[in-house]
Structure 1
Amino acid sequence: MISKIKEHCGIVGIHNVPDAPRIVYETLKFLQHRGQESAGITFLDKDRLSTVKGLGLVEDALDPIILKSSNFSIGHVRYSTTGRGVIDEAQPLSDGKIALAFNGTIPNYINYNVRIDTEFIYEVLKNQEDIRQGIRKLVDVADGGYSLVVLTNKGELIGLRDPKGFRPLVLGKLGSGYIIASEDSAIRQLGGIVIRDVKPGEMIYIKNGSIESEIVARDEVHFCSFEYIYFSRADSIIDGVSVYRARVRLGEILAENHPAKADIVVPVPESSVPIALGFSRKSGIPLEYGLVRTSVSKRSFIMPSQDKRESIVEEKFGVVGEVVRNKKIILIDDSIVRGTTMKKLVKLIRENGASEIHVRIGSPMIRYPCYMGIDFPNKKELIANDKNEMEIAKSIGADSVEYLSIDEMIKAIGRQDLCHACFSGMYPLKHSYDFSKLSVSMKG
């Protein structure tokens, strides 16, 4: 059976910086929000690449004490939809000569004799004498959304962003060397200098302290809207657009076009807080923290299986009873995917005495699977697939539910080149994919 893999992860590569593996370790903690299932680090040890990896959060999966001194290293935190949580699928993937860390999905890997798309990338790269030629070949044959970093035993560091620019990737300066990472916020938190975003279709090649740039392929850009809505850190800036500012605007437009009479606005921490702030400012309804997120909680959306998601929801939220009691509440969240979290939250808030709960969502209705790296594997799991807003409200126990439209979302984020396939069903890919049937059909 073909493994159903989607990788929405965090990646980092460091070139010519003393103690690079330990810096990668710290960077992975700054990117922990992008993946909680496993973590791994590869570093150059003399003329061979060594890899350490484990399951769970970075501090549980990796022991920094065993990391050797090296000036060259890459790392990865993983989120997938396999539900397997096995160490052999953790990254980086390496044979001692080439190591790669990958963020995204390449659906047409199922046409090749490999288990997962990361193996597909590795097979393409290892069969080319020159790593740059391998990257060119990969871009030519791969269909999907991805960014990746590659390290070789020659000390070469490569960063690549797919031609449609689905996933973010950033180049920075760190001391005497360079860093490539999923988000600029991690580079700044390390004390590094952000140089620029890697361009869609661009390969960054670094060797001996020298950088070469090549646009390997050009295509129409379709950046993942969910990076702004949920995945990226609020203090990140992607392609010149502030994630925080985009989320505030989502809330402002939500208040303008989807109001409700209420006493307070309550955000679902953490990614929806700027959305709730924008809603509160525009509507004039005060913002209150009626929900408290525990400090040890994980992001339930990126847990690999439904039973784990449900158990995490029970653990991660507390309700401030005196805030919600006898109040009409506008409950703000960034999205509703399966409805698991929202249904439980509405129930918890009602049990603490809220008189009305009006749910407002800072994204459009998620109706379709994603084939570019988000965990929307099939339509049956999506609560909006076969329900309208009134039916969703009834299903989750809310008094009302309203979402942004696709046009409202685009206006709020301020980019016309967004991918909205999970909302519209319009996939900017060469092929269409149905993982539930494990089939691929040509779109032309």
Structure 2
Amino acid sequence: MEPLKHECGVAMIRLLKPLEYYQEKYGTWMFALNKLYLMMEKQHNRGQEGAGMACVKFDGMPGTEYIFRERAEGKDAITEIFGRVQKEYARLSPELLADAEFAKNHLPFAGQLYMGHLRYSTTGKKGLAYVHPFLRRNNWQAKNLCICGNFNMTNIDEIFQQMLAQGMFPRIYSDGYTLLELMGHRLDREAERNFVDAKKFGLEGMDITSYIDNHMDMANVLRTTMPNFDGGYVMCGLTGSGEMFSMRDPWGIRPAFYYQNDEFVAVASERPVLQTTFDLECDDIKELQPGNALLVNRSGEMRMERILEQRGDSACSFERIYFSRGSDRDIYRERKRLGELLVPQVLNAVDGDINHTVFSFIPNTAEVAYYGLLSGFKKCLNRQKVQQIQQLDHEPTDEELHAILDTYVRSEKVAIKDIKLRTFITEGNSRNDLASHVYDITYGCIEPGVDNLVVIDDSIVRGTTLKESILRILDRLHPKKIVVVSSAPQIRYPDYYGIDMPRLEEFCVFRATIELIRERGMNDLLQRVYEACKLELLKPKSMMRNCVRDIYKPFTAEEINRKVVDMLRPEGLKTPVELVFQSIDGLHEAIPDHHGDWYFTGKYPTPGGTKLCNQAFVNFIDRQK
């Protein structure tokens, strides 16, 4: 119910034909530029803090620009950057703008390689300098590098120290710029390797440049850049000589998909983005595998190359529950299944009284899980109807049959998101009062004091919106009971692979567990876990275990649920409230092919995640002192 800032979105297109081809077939040489815009808009959900795009133009004359970049901050950044480009074109006559040869020679962003990025900050760092793509300039075409990505590295401090040990002097401390400089350093070495070869062949002048440009191999660069990084990532990049690459982390944490035909190669963070943009079938699109890189060289030849051996099978399950577009075929089915699997727990929460229960959902991202929950209850109700008919000891009349068959699962649009909290309100009480009006309700949709109200959410993270808004407005309907359902399990642990969830105390489940520990006089448990975490931090990362998991062991999920309700219940709320969370078994049954469940289990796929979780608990206790 409270939006999460999360992993970014990437988009890439490599044209395989001359611009004239697209002008003739599609009526515009801007085919790739227009498609990039669509791909970025279709991934707007993945980043609203900034956007950027880059383009590489082939076969330009020395002294003319061949790498173009635009970046902007804010939720309207996509419109802004594409608007700037179109402003350049607006001064041209229609005839000149339709001239592909003129565009190729004179216009910006009229090239063969395009890359776009949507940004959500996971570090809290703001400013245009942190908006992707990052660009490293050089007078040798092959040494120009432009990168963007959907990533968060857990060991950037170690990589930074390695760079210093090599004699580098980085300008900025961030994972994006560190990656750029480290990869740029290896790109220089690759160019120099080709320079040496060109000299051996007796080449001189621009013939050396041409040889280097045509023999660059980004696989060599990636193999010498990426092995020591710990984290979740999809790295994308372009070089001034015309190389394109996209690489996925060896644990498979972050997603990437691609499509190739004889006209173009395209890459995106989500499959339906490619389907919609290029009018493709689901099975036309392939997923980039863990540790692999998609490489397209200057000649337009695409190949898949294994850069790192696969180190795990930890595709992010939260990506499926919340972040990705629900229009993906498999994600839609998985979210419905998540809802359906909650039926037994919800049925128990309403004491089996389907006839006096109204179902709804908040927010819109929970809609698909809501359909699954409704479907499950319809099946449950149909089984009850069959039993009722079978138990009749006589041939039923029409009235008796209708009395049984006309019973239905009741669903209503109970809550409506009405306004957005205005950030210029800074005074605490005013903000809280305004927050309580973010949602409005549909009055008269339930029978007061008689009907239970079940609302499903995709996940419950901090609980802030529940406390400040949702529970208050639902209470105005005076239901017999409010049951808040999460299609995700209890979120107990931070994420360090691209989602803005780094602090333990942000999670209402963690806070509730700490309260239970203190209420029951178990402070020695907190001290033991604190000391254990500090000892683990002295070990090599590969030998660490996640000691934070120990704080949850004394309690059942139901005990924690009840404490969460106590903490989130607004003052004066009269209606009984119950929380229902998805089980870990239910998660794995609904999403069988995405095993990354560290948010819920604390089982981090990389040593860096385990280290940072232990450190987060130490930091939490230190802040309490």
Fold shared, TM-score > 0.5 on shorter chain: yes
Q: Distance in 2 between matches of 1:277 and 1:195?
A: 27
Residues 61 and 37 of structure 1: CA distance in aligned 2, closer, same or farther (over 3 Å): farther
Tell me which residue corresponds to 1:8.
7
Corresponding position: 1:37 with 2:37: no
Q: Displacement, 1:393? A: 1.6
- Counterpart amino acid of 2:313? V
Q: 1:283 aligns with which of 377, 396, 399?
A: 377
Which has the larger share of strand? Answer: 1
Q: 1:65 aligns with which of 76, 83, 94?
A: 83
Q: Distance in 1 between matches of 2:413 and 2:262?
A: 40
Corresponding position: 1:234 with 2:326: yes
Q: Distance in 2 between matches of 1:229 and 1:414?
A: 13
Corresponding position: 1:195 with 2:372: no
- Counterpart amino acid of 1:418? H
Corresponding position: 1:214 with 2:310: no
SS at match of 1:322: coil
Tell me which residue corresponds to 1:410.
588
Corresponding position: 1:251 with 2:339: yes
Which has the larger share of helix? Answer: 2
Tell me which residue corresponds to 1:90.
131
Q: Distance in 1 between matches of 2:44 and 2:285?
A: 22
Q: Distance in 1 between matches of 2:6 and 2:229?
A: 15
CA-based RMSD of the aligned residues comes to: 2.9
Residues 405 and 175 of structure 1: CA distance in aligned 2, closer, same or farther (over 3 Å): same
Tell me which residue corresponds to 2:453.
329
> Retained in 1: the 8 A contact 2:134–2:146?
yes
Deviations 1:141-191 (A, max 9, x none): 111111121111122211111111101100113771110000011111112
Corresponding position: 1:429 with 2:441: no
SS at match of 2:445: helix
- Counterpart amino acid of 2:136? D
- Counterpart amino acid of 2:149? F
Superposition TM-score, scaled by structure 1 size: 0.87
SS at match of 1:77: strand
> Retained in 2: the 8 A contact 1:184–1:236?
yes
Q: Distance in 1 between matches of 2:488 and 2:130?
A: 32
Q: Distance in 1 between matches of 2:183 and 2:117?
A: 18
Tell me which residue corresponds to 1:318.
440
Q: Distance in 2 between matches of 1:179 and 1:192?
A: 13
Tell me which residue corresponds to 1:49.
67
Residues 393 and 187 of structure 1: CA distance in aligned 2, closer, same or farther (over 3 Å): same
Q: Displacement, 1:87? A: 1.4
Q: Distance in 1 between matches of 2:121 and 2:286?
A: 28
> Retained in 2: the 8 A contact 1:22–1:64?
no
Residues 147 and 63 of structure 1: CA distance in aligned 2, closer, same or farther (over 3 Å): closer
Q: 2:233 aligns with which of 146, 149, 154?
A: 146
Bigger shift: residues 138-147 or 180-189: 138-147
Q: Percent identity?
A: 25
> Retained in 2: the 8 A contact 1:250–1:275?
yes
Q: Distance in 2 between matches of 1:438 and 1:252?
A: 35
Q: Distance in 1 between matches of 2:345 and 2:616?
A: 40
Tell me which residue corresponds to 1:105.
152
Residues 174 and 94 of structure 1: CA distance in aligned 2, closer, same or farther (over 3 Å): farther
Unmatched runs of 5 consecutive residues or more in structure 2: 17-28, 86-108, 138-143, 161-171, 191-217, 351-355, 379-408, 513-559, 570-575, 619-625
SS at match of 2:611: strand
> Retained in 2: the 8 A contact 1:224–1:419?
yes
SS at match of 1:140: coil
Q: 2:466 aligns with which of 309, 334, 342?
A: 342
SS at match of 1:137: helix
Q: Displacement, 1:8? A: 0.8
> Retained in 2: the 8 A contact 1:256–1:283?
no
Tell me which residue corresponds to 1:183.
270
Deviations 1:253-277 (A, max 9, x none): 1113443325211111322111111
Deviations 1:200-257 (A, max 9, x none): 11100012332111111222211111011100001125xxxx0010000000111134
Residues 187 and 26 of structure 1: CA distance in aligned 2, closer, same or farther (over 3 Å): same
Deviations 1:33-75 (A, max 9, x none): 1111111111124563221111122456624233332331111
SS at match of 1:209: coil
Q: Displacement, 1:287? A: 2.8
> Retained in 1: the 8 A contact 2:504–2:617?
no
Tell me which residue corresponds to 1:273.
367
Corresponding position: 1:389 with 2:568: no
Deviations 1:76-127 (A, max 9, x none): 1111233443211111111242111111211101224352211222122101
Tell me which residue corresponds to 2:34.
22
Superposition TM-score, scaled by structure 2 size: 0.63
Deviations 1:375-405 (A, max 9, x none): 2111111110142100112222361001112
Tell me which residue corresponds to 1:372.
497
Unmatched runs of 5 consecutive residues or more in structure 1: 1-5, 301-305
Q: Answer with 1 or 2: which has the greater Rg.
A: 2
- Counterpart amino acid of 2:122? T
Q: Distance in 2 between matches of 1:396 and 1:40?
A: 39
Bigger shift: residues 420-429 or 188-197: 188-197
Residues 203 and 313 of structure 1: CA distance in aligned 2, closer, same or farther (over 3 Å): farther
- Counterpart amino acid of 1:41? M
Q: Distance in 2 between matches of 1:382 and 1:102?
A: 27
